[in-house]
Structures are given as C-alpha cells and as structure tokens.
Structure 1
Amino acid sequence: MSFTSVVLHAPFAPAALALASLFACSSAARAQDTTMAALSPVVVTATRTPAPLDRVVADVVVIDEDQLRNAAGSTVEDLLREHAGLQILRNGGPGQSVGFFVRGTSTNSTVVLIDGVRVGSATLGQAQLESLSVAQIERIEVLRGPGSSLYGADAMGGVIQIFTRRGASLAPRVQATVAAGRYGSSEASGGVSGAVGGFDYAVSLAREKSDGISAIANAGDTFGNYNPDADGFTRRSGSAQLGYTPTEGHRFGLRWAESKLESQYDGAEFLPPDFSPDASADFSNKLDTRVLALDYAARLGNTWRSELTLAQNDDELVSGGTQLSRFETQRRQASWQNTWEVAQGHTLVGLLERLEETVQSLSFSPSERSRDNDALVLSYTGNSEAHRWQADLRHDRNSVYGGHTTAKLGYALQLSKPLSVRASAGTAFRAPSFNELYFPGFGVETVQPEKSRSMEIGAAWREESWSVQTTAYRNRIRDLIVYEPDRAFCPPQPEYNFGCARNVARARLKGASLSAQGVQGVWHWGAGVELLDATDARDGTRLLRRAAHTATASLAYRASSWGARAAVQGVGKRPDAGGTVLPSYELLDLGAHYVFARQWRVEAKLFNALDKRYEPVKDYGAPGRAFWLVLSYDSQAL
C-alpha cells in the first residue's frame, strides 16, 4: 500500500461519490449472506442516554467486547487507530507519551471519559492514553465531531468514552489472560463479575511490562536527547464496580478505576556550569490516574429516569531525571441528569453539572490554582417514521474564563430500508489549560478559550450482513492558543523574554471518512479511509503531524474452534517541526487462535510483520517485528 498527497478542495464531494456508489451496488448487496446480527448496539455518548447506534444522528464508532477480546499485546491507542480512524502520535514504543487527532483537532481538543467521569491532566489540558490498560475495558465509544453541546469545554474534536467492566449475569464470570512477547514484554490480567441477590459486582486487575526500545531512534536528534538505552514501562491497573438494587428501577453504584504507569524516556538536562545538554540521566514518567464515583439511578414511572453522580478524578505526574517535577490534578464532579420520554420516540434530557478543578505544582506561583464550572444542558431527540433529529444546548459558566453557550442540531432521513442520510452543525470550545494560563514564562491569565463552528453530512447503507458509512465535515477554529515568540505581544515581565501563550491562530479542518464492514459465512472483513485537509487559515500551510490520509483494512476467518486475522494500517506523509516531512508507512499485523475445552483460547500474534522502520514523530522510533503468545480463559465463552 502506498500513499500520495491528497488535498480536499470540495469536502463534501467524497460523501456524494460514496452515496452514488451505495445506490450502484444495492442490487448485488441483497445477495449477501444474512448472518450479521440485526440488533444495533446501544450507545450513550451521542445523546447521554441509551440509544441504538443506528438511530443516533451523530458519527459514533464502537469498539466492542469482541474486538477487545483480541487486544492482548495491544494498547488503547492501537485500538483507536485501527477501529475509530484516529491519527495517533507516540514518542517511541508502548508506554511513551501519546498524542491523538480526532478529525485533525489537537489532543487537548477531545474529551476523554471513564464511565462518564472526565479524566486527564488539567495542566496539560489533555488525557494521557498511555496510562490506560485495555484489560479494564468493556467497550469504547468514540463520538467524532463537536461534543461541547453535551460535554462542555475541550470537545471540539469529539469525545472518547471508556466503559469499565460491570457485572450482569447471575453466574459468576471469570476471565484471565497471560501473554508474552518480544522486547521482554508480558501481560497478566484477571477478573470476576456477576450478580447475586440485589447486588452486581465486577473486579479486574492487570499488570503489563516491557523492556522497550530506545525512545529516540538515532543520535543527532534535534534537541540532543538521544540515549541508546532501552526505554521500557510497567503499568499496573485495576477496576471495581459494585451495584445494589433494593427494588426494581432503583440502583446505587460505586465505581473505582486506577492505573499506575512508570515509563522511561529519552531527555536532557541543562546543568551548570556550561548548561550544555546532558542526556545520560535515567528519565522517567510516573503517572497515577484514579477515578472514584458514586451514583444513584432511579426509574420514576414509565417515562422518567433520574441519575445523580458524585465523582472524583486524581491525576499525578512525577517526571524528570536527576531533577524531578510534579504536577497534580484533582477534579470533583457532581451531576444530576433527568431523562423524560415525552412521547413514544421523543426524549428530553436535562442536566445540571458542577466541575471543580485544582492543580498543584511547585512550578506554579502560588503552587495551587483552581477553577470551577457550572453547566446546564438541554437535549431533545426524536424520531417519527423515517425522520430522526437531535437538538442540544449547553451553557457553561466558568470562574476563570466566563460564560460560553454551545449548541448542536442534527437531522437524519431514512430514504429506504437500508439507506439513510444525515446532516448536523454545531459549535464548540476548548478551555485554556492551567499551563497556558499560569506556567511561569509562558502562561498568560488573559488567554481566552478557542472556539469552533463545524458542519457535517453523512450517509449509511446497512444490510443484515454488511454496512457502509461515509461522512464529510468542515470545521473552522478561531482564537487558537499558540506559542508567540514575539516579545512585543507578551507581558512586560522579564520572564517572558522568550515568548508566551497567545490567542492568534485560526485553522481550517475539512475531510471525509469512508468505512465498511461485513460478514459472509466464516469471513469477517472491514476497511476504512480517512481523508484530512488541516491547514493554518492565515497562510494555508498544513498543520504539523497531520497526515493527509490514513487507511485500515482487516480480514478474519472464524471457524468453530480456530480462526486467523490479518490487518493493514497505512499512514500518509506528515509535516513535522523544522520543515521536516515524515514519509508514509504501512504496518501489517497477523494473528491466529485456537479454542480448546470451550473456555480456553491460545493465540499467536505477529505485530509489524514486515518489520517496517518508521518515525511516528520526528526523531522518535517505533517497535519492529514482535511476536506474541497469548493464553486466555473465559468461564462463559461460547
């Protein structure tokens, strides 16, 4: 697979072409095998209330339990890249710092939730996916497109919601996995879930480690950070859920999830007397992410549901070599959501939310900073025969940057049984991070939120055994917060002699996605293409590290007791710092599994089977060919 540069001057043209192709292939499609499940998965991220995926107006991707079952040896970012079309950046191998682009927006423009609780560093303004373990996850939902009208600040690109495991069946379900691979890598995880009496429960623990590779690929990197030692990681994680249903329609729930990551990286210190770069220290990141939540859900009659949630997220990072820095984030969140089924097919959601954020670091003066945010959300969804619609309105009042109102309106039309079309438009914003407000020599307290306006159109053709979806979008962002090197635009204090944060840039993001998946007998297949034109609106130059296009394809064979799978991922050329253009690359992953004694499964995997050498980010390397052997047990496996 090879890639050439693509620029989209008419962003909705791909959707129109895909729509025409759907009509052209309709007669052949009806002859396909009809083994695909007719029921659509239920999602909550698009509307904040459960709804069938094929009935929501938004562009939502689900990574389900079946896909997660095959994820041993993979990371959360690997899954998002393959199944949700995200562009992923990683400063080296697994465990290293991860960035991601949803529709070309920056990492800090996507909200990440764990069971509805916002997570991540408020100093950086983003979630660190590298801290999360696949072992704790039951499913992932990705809302692609603006989500501020439901989730507030930072959802300009979308929302990633991770759901941890929860007990359901009466009989206890026991799951366990052990795996080993190249670079001294290993995984071990186990969990039990079930329900008894009025209680439901789920507990899961995991440990992962790898000796890793050198994060910087070669000597002579831009900042002199190269150190030839291997940069590995250790990640320990756990989750637990306990629910009590005293009477039908009423449930109390307690949730806990935590991950501890320790990873080495390549860096440099500039120490006296000559302040030249010294990369010899053993640099490491120690990241602890914790979520604790208490909730109560009640069904009050046949048409009214009420949910009250109290939650806290703690995020602590200790980073450095011989000199360490510490950044702590604490979020307290309280929400009260009411869902009213006004009439059959018509639902009204009202939400009151309070979010308090506090950061602590000796890098700040004073060392503790805080802000709070109050929000009101109203959302209306409806469907009537062939018509579906959604209207969201949210107002946020923040103690630091004031009030912001965002809205989104979407409509979908079922043209025929298999074919539907949709369109939506919305506004969103990104709040300045604490670093952009307060970090010495960079942060400026008058920096304002970034703002965006976007619109999209899409089409879907869904048969019982296969489906095709396409979306085209345009997003304009203004007041982008960037580094301003010109001293004249910064505060007068001497500490700003080298620049500061400033609202100055504008961006144009437009693109299209096309994906298809299906089942024909024992064969399962999927493919996707993402096209992106991400430019600086001031001069038309491409935004750094965004590929013009990416593509994925997979083919799996599944018999009663064994199966095999091949997956290909391709990433086009990307501009990087200093005028560098990183070349395109393609990755091939292979796997085969065998099921014995029904509950036991052994699997062999070969990641990067062609041993492709590439730089995901300028100067940083990626793992070569890696073989994994996996043994897993599931007491309720079919």
Structure 2
Amino acid sequence: MGTLTYKKSYKKSYKAPIKLSKIAVLVSSVLTLLPASMATAAEVEETITVTGSRFDRSAEQQLMVINTIEREEIERLNPKSVADVLEILPGVSVSRNGGPGQNTSISIRGSNSNHVLVLIDGVKIGSATLGAVSFNTLSPENIERVEVLKGPRASIWGSDAIGGVIQIFTRQLKEGEWFASTEYGSNDYIRGTLGFGVNHGEGSTSFSVNHEQSDGYDVYNGSDVENDDDGYQRSSFSLKGSQPINQYWQALWNAQYDKGTYQYDDTFASGSADESDYENYLWNLGAKYRNESFISKLTLSQSRDYNENFRGDNTNVPTNIYETTRDQINWSNQYTVTNGLILNGGIDWSREEISGDYEQNQRDIIGVYGLLQQQWNKLLIEVAVRYDDVENIDSELSYNTSLAYQFNAQWRLSATTGTSFKAPTFNDLYWPNSGNPDLLSETAKNYDLTLNYQVDNLVAYVSLFQNQVDNLITWASTGEMEVRKPVNINKAEMSGAELSANYQLFNLEHQLSYTYLKAEDTQTDEQLIGRSKHDFSYLLSYEWQQFDLLANYHYQGERYAGYGDFFDSYQQLDLSVGYHIDNRWTLRLKANNLLDETIISAKNYLSPSRELFFSVNYQAF
C-alpha cells in the first residue's frame, strides 16, 4: 500500500472551501477523503497523516479508530468551547455543568472522564489531584487540529489512556500569514483573536492571542437560592515554531498560557458567591533528527494546572488552592527497516508535583515502550509493549496487538486487543485523613473489530468494541462513623457499536454517526451514571458561490442519573452561515440550540438555551 492522498478541490477565485470530510474515518484503513464538490475545479493533492503512534503516518498505516478535525472545519463550526468541537465525533460524549465557561467532562466510548489522556502539542495536561482536565479553560481559537484516538493506547502513551487519547495541536503560521477576528453574541459574549507568523532564516514562529468573555446565565436549576448569572472570561496566548539546523537536525518549540475566571453554582446551592480563577501554562523544547530511514525526537516540557476557588462573601481570599506542576522528558524514535517493517521505541519520564497538605506531594513516573509494524501484501500487523514504573505504586506492563486485512480497494477489516491502566490520583492516595496509599492502578482490557468501506463518494466504517475495567477506585464507607476512603472494588464493562459515514454529492456533504453503548457496573448490573445508550449526529455542509452553510444536528439519548433517575433525551440543532466577501474577509452568523431545547447533561445544571453570534474574520495566507 502506498502513501494515502486525497484531492482537495477549490475555485480559483476564492479560497479553498472549508471541508468537513476528515472527521469521519481515519481508522486502520485506506480512507481517501473526497472532493467537496463535483464542479470543475483545480485539484491539489495532499497527504493525510495522523500521529497515533507518535510519528506522522499515513492513515492506511493506522490500526485504531482515529477521528480528526481540522482548522477550517473548526472555523465553520464556530465553537465556544473545545467540548463543542469534540461532541460532533462518534463515540465522544460531553457532560457540562452549564455553558462553555463551566466545568466539562469528556467520555470516549463510555469511559470515565479521567480515563482519557489529553495532550497539547505532545505535552500532557490536567490535574494530578483530581485526575481531570479543565476543558473549559481551553480556547478553540488557538487550535489547528484535533485527533481523537479510540481505545486503549497505554502501550504507547502510558497512564490514563484507557478510553482513548485526545491530541490538540495549536496553530502555526509563516511570515506573511496572519488572521484576525471579532465576535459578539448572546449573553453579551465578546471575543477578539489575532495571530501572525514571522520567519527567521528557514524557520518560522507563529503567535496567537485570544480573549473572550460573557455575562453568562444562571446555570443551576436545583434551587431558587442561587439565581444569579454565571459569567466567565478567559485569555490565552500561544506560540509555536521550528528552525532547521542542517539537513538532518531541527529545533522545535511551543508554549501556551491560559488565564481566566468563571462563576459557578455549587451543588449545595448555599447562595454563596462561587468563583474560580485559573492560570495554566505549558512549554515544550525539542530537537528532531531525520534521515531517510530514521527519526529521533527528544523533548523537554513542563505544564502547570493552577486553580483558586472563592466562596462566601469574601472573594479576596481563596478558600482552596489546587496546583499541579508536571515536568516531562520524552525520547521517541522510529526506524523504517524496509518498506514493510517499521520499528518505534522510546523512553518517557515525568515528575508530578502538587501543592497542599498531603502526605506525599510528588512522584516520578518512567515508561519504556517498543512497537513493531509489519506489512505483508494485504496483511498489516502491529505489536506494542510498554513498561511503566509509578513511584510508590505497582508497576504496569501494557500491550497492544492489532492486525488488518485489505480485501480490495473498497473493504478492510481490522482487529485490536490491548491493555491499559490509570495510576491513582494524589487525592485517592494521600487526601488528608482519608487517602489510601495501598491503592492499585485501575486496569482495563479492550477488544475492537472495525470494518471499513470506501467508494468514489462514500467513506464509512462500523466498529464493535468492548472495554473491561477492573480495580475501579470508589470512595466507600469504612464502617467508622462517616469516614470514607477510596478502595479498588468496582468493575465496569463498556461495549457497543460505532458507525460513521461521509457521503458527498455535488456541493452537499453529509456526515452521519451513531453510537450504541452499553455501560454497566458488572457487580450490580446497574447502568453507569452519565452514559446513554443512543447517540446520533448529522452534519450537512453546503457551498454555493460565496456562501457556505453548516447544519449540525445532535440527538442524545436519556442518561442514567443514579438512584433510578434519568436525564431526559434531547436534540440540538446548530446552524452556521458564512459569507465570503473575497478570499480574505468572511462574515459568519451562528445559531446554537435553534430549537431552544432544555438540555441537562449533569444533575440540576442547564446548558445554554437558544443563542445567536455574529463574527467578522480576516485571514491572509
């Protein structure tokens, strides 16, 4: 199998039309994304690569389900949060404590939200105390591409990758390329974004800045006590660059800084003034060596997750401070032995350090991994093994075994099995007076069978999956008064089917995805909280002369809320209309929740009602 390419069509008098094709199926198969139009147009070939094995590879070399979203697709979606981007993907479920500035959790194929590894430009982010990622602090305006890997990838990435991996890549521009945009909308939402690139010799560095704020609305409907609006504001800055040193060596760097505040309503509805401030950052320095058959990359990075909570009438003194600092060193290598044999391997080291009155406030984690991929005619095989040693916790050996068979140009079948784990958080282990330092890591075993189909104007796949999780950590009573401690007692199983199809005809592009999920506690046979059995999305994209239209319909089945209760199912329709004045200026009108549905995905928390936004965008590329 050769390099995967697709042909992108565009009209010479305008910029390349914004396509929504890449969301569908980068799944262990030969997937050729198709023209957005059947009209006469100039054609440009572009190679699609994804980084499921840490290095760029064509989609035909991947043996797991990978969905991607590109910058031009994000612009048409005009999201207000990263969760808005992820929610349109099959198998990805979002739970919100309100709108875009509120706490948000992401689940992949029914996994816990803390069973999803999140990376920004290769740097792991998130809290080591809670084990969660604050998606509400991230701005979608600084994102170039998102990749979502389905299934366990601990054999490549280490801890947390039980449900999958979310990789976020920030924007990079060259000299003469720049963009600016402004937006105003419902709840006094205001946004301003600016980005530009500069060259230095043969290298370049891009800079981007974004600020947005909203007066918000009352997110909590469980009490009449806290009936105030819950607004937010956030600012972000990012830079990303590279510099060739010679024909083999390249220097790489990137950094991101996020700062903001958001008001929220706590579940106790005490009527206090609840507010949270955050100030997060990451930076990454790297060197990359490449020749015809060997690639080696060494990176040094650091990330910080910092949050201050304020409650009560005194908003000048924080009642709680949470901080995680994570230092990382990663050395990864890829050697192409022959056209059909590829070897990967590397070492990862990280040190997690937290603030607070904990028995232990730091730990080191070291992992060593290796991967072999072999192509024999129509058969592709991949085996990966990784050993992780987590300080003061048991060590873990993870593996992945995958194979795919290409029947013909249209059909491909792939199968994967693998193990994964998540190390206990600092709260689980060392929370003052109630932590349990004897905890084991949560572990999982996954099975996946995926069938792919491709013809001239249709790309589709259906994937059957099962994920069995053991040693789940649950806070349970110790029998001593009201003392509760975390213990490894729960087991869960998530199984189901995921279907995605991308069909194109003339200027219309249809994208459909459906997920059936059965997620249960295997000890009680009770449905897992926050999961729904049925999830359906349909995106319709249309282009006509200077206009583009995107209709995004999402149906979420009822979710289990615990104690025999369910959150009602809902349907949401978003509509985006863009007018391209020329190849640089674009006006866009976006309507969210056009049907004005009452949407509740977390107990007593309301998602936004109908909203309207208008933006003006300029870009020079």
- TM above 0.5: yes
Task: Give 1:218 deviation, angstroms.
Answer: 4.1
CA distance in 2, matches of 1:291, 1:198: 25
CA distance in 2, matches of 1:465, 1:250: 41
Please show how residues 112-511 of structure 1 align to structure 2 within 5 Å. 112-167=118-173, 169=174, 171-193=175-197, 195-219=199-223, 226-267=225-266, 279-299=270-290, 301-322=291-312, 324-361=319-356, 364-366=357-359, 369-487=361-479, 497-511=482-496
- Partner SS for 1:436: helix
- Partner SS for 1:130: helix
On the 8 A contact 1:266/1:283 being kept in 2, the answer is yes
In structure 1, the gaps of 5 or more residues are 1-28, 221-225, 269-276, 489-495
Aligned to 1:566: 551
> Letter of the aligned partner of 1:337 in structure 2?
S
On the 8 A contact 1:72/1:179 being kept in 2, the answer is no
CA distance in 2, matches of 1:203, 1:75: 20
> Letter of the aligned partner of 2:573 in structure 1?
L
- Partner SS for 1:281: coil
Out of 64-73 and 121-130, give the one that drifted further. Answer: 64-73
Task: Give 1:39 deviation, angstroms.
Answer: 5.1
- Partner SS for 1:83: coil
- Partner SS for 1:183: helix
CA distance in 1, matches of 2:423, 2:615: 42
Aligned to 1:19: none
> Letter of the aligned partner of 2:247 in structure 1?
E
Change (3 A) 1:71 1:203: farther
On the 8 A contact 1:577/1:618 being kept in 2, the answer is no
CA distance in 1, matches of 2:53, 2:447: 18
Task: Give 1:105 deviation, angstroms.
Answer: 0.7
CA distance in 1, matches of 2:132, 2:156: 18
Q: What do the CA deviations read for 1:303-362 (whole angstroms, capped 9, x no partner)?
A: 11111100001110111313510011010000111211111132111101111100002x
CA distance in 2, matches of 1:569, 1:252: 43
CA distance in 2, matches of 1:39, 1:251: 23
Please show how residues 515-554 of structure 1 align to structure 2 within 5 Å. 515-554=500-539
Which of 82, 85, 101 is the equivalent residue of 1:79? 85
- Partner SS for 2:155: helix
CA distance in 1, matches of 2:241, 2:460: 39
On the 8 A contact 1:72/1:630 being kept in 2, the answer is no
CA distance in 2, matches of 1:176, 1:156: 38
> Letter of the aligned partner of 2:310 in structure 1?
G
Aligned to 1:630: 615
Task: Give 1:504 deviation, angstroms.
Answer: 0.2
Q: What do the CA deviations read for 1:220-248 (whole angstroms, capped 9, x no partner)?
A: 6xxxxx50000011010111013211212
On the 8 A contact 2:79/2:85 being kept in 1, the answer is no
Which of 593, 600, 603 is the equivalent residue of 2:588? 603
- Does 2:53 align with 1:62? no
- Partner SS for 1:247: coil
Q: What do the CA deviations read for 1:149-175 (whole angstroms, capped 9, x no partner)?
A: 1011111000000001123x5x52111
Task: Give 1:38 deviation, angstroms.
Answer: 7.1
> Letter of the aligned partner of 2:283 in structure 1?
L
Aligned to 1:514: 499
Q: What do the CA deviations read for 1:134-192 (whole angstroms, capped 9, x no partner)?
A: 0111000000100111011111000000001123x5x5211111111101112111101
CA distance in 1, matches of 2:457, 2:201: 39
Task: Give 1:196 deviation, angstroms.
Answer: 4.4
Task: Give 1:384 deviation, angstroms.
Answer: 3.3
> Letter of the aligned partner of 1:487 in structure 2?
G
In structure 2, the gaps of 5 or more residues are 1-33, 313-317
Aligned to 1:21: none
> Letter of the aligned partner of 1:467 in structure 2?
V
- Does 2:50 align with 1:43? yes
CA distance in 2, matches of 1:176, 1:470: 40
Task: Give 1:199 deviation, angstroms.
Answer: 1.8
CA distance in 2, matches of 1:245, 1:501: 50
On the 8 A contact 2:111/2:163 being kept in 1, the answer is yes
On the 8 A contact 1:333/1:355 being kept in 2, the answer is yes
Percent of residue pairs bearing the same amino acid type: 25
Change (3 A) 1:184 1:200: same
> Letter of the aligned partner of 2:574 in structure 1?
D
RMSD, aligned α-carbons: 1.9
- Partner SS for 1:282: coil
On the 8 A contact 1:467/1:518 being kept in 2, the answer is yes
Aligned to 1:22: none
Q: What do the CA deviations read for 1:356-401 (whole angstroms, capped 9, x no partner)?
A: 100002xx245x6010011101011232332222111100011120
Aligned to 2:570: 585
Task: Give 1:505 deviation, angstroms.
Answer: 0.5
CA distance in 2, matches of 1:181, 1:384: 55
On the 8 A contact 2:68/2:146 being kept in 1, the answer is yes
Task: Give 1:72 deviation, angstroms.
Answer: 2.8
On the 8 A contact 2:77/2:576 being kept in 1, the answer is no
Task: Give 1:102 deviation, angstroms.
Answer: 0.6
CA distance in 2, matches of 1:257, 1:327: 19
Aligned to 2:19: none
CA distance in 1, matches of 2:590, 2:242: 37
CA distance in 1, matches of 2:197, 2:374: 35
CA distance in 1, matches of 2:44, 2:444: 38
- Partner SS for 2:520: strand
Please show how residues 14-25 of structure 1 align to structure 2 within 5 Å. none
